[in-house]
């Protein structure tokens, strides 16, 4: 199953987990699986129309999935998706 890495600011909404293993053939299915398991994550990832929020960046390896096929990007079981959070501390 592909792995989804949860960044620190979002971990409180995923019961503290730093990684989730979720079934899915494409990015969208993994993200949907994550919000189905942890409903508190949903409003932080998706807007009311179900689109990814503009400050949420999903990377597959080195690449932003927006540069690939977006939420329809195909995944293999060994893939790790990374949510890159917007943080501001200094």
Q: List interacting residues with another protein (CB under 8 A).
A: 7-9, 12-13, 40, 44, 53-55, 57, 59, 61-64, 67, 82, 84-90
Nearer to another protein, 63 or 77 (CB): 63
For residue 88, count other CB atoms closer than 10 A to its CB: 4
Report CA 2 to chain centroid distance, whole Å.
Answer: 11
Q: Tell me whether strands 80-84 and 57-60 are parallel, antiparallel or unpaired.
A: antiparallel
**Nearest distance from C-beta of residue 12 to another protein, angstroms:** 4
- The CA distances from residue 54 to 15, 45, 47, in Å, are 24, 9, 9
State in Å, rounded, how far the first CA of the chain is from the last one. 36
Nearer to another protein, 23 or 43 (CB): 43
Nearer to another protein, 8 or 76 (CB): 8
Nearer to another protein, 30 or 52 (CB): 52
Tell me the β-bridge partners of 61. Answer: none
**Nearest distance from C-beta of residue 13 to another protein, angstroms:** 6
**Nearest distance from C-beta of residue 73 to another protein, angstroms:** 14
């Amino acid at each position: 199953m592909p792995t989804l890495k949860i960044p620190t600011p979002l971990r409180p909404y995923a019961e503290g987990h730093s990684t989730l293993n979720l079934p899915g053939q494409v990015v969208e299915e993994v993200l949907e699986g994550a919000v189905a398991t942890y409903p508190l994550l949903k409003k932080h990832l998706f807007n009311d129309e179900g689109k990814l929020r503009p400050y949420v960046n999903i990377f597959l390896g080195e690449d932003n999935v927006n540069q690939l096929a977006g939420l329809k990007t195909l995944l293999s079981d060994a893939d790790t998706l990374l949510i890159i959070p917007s943080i501001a501390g200094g």
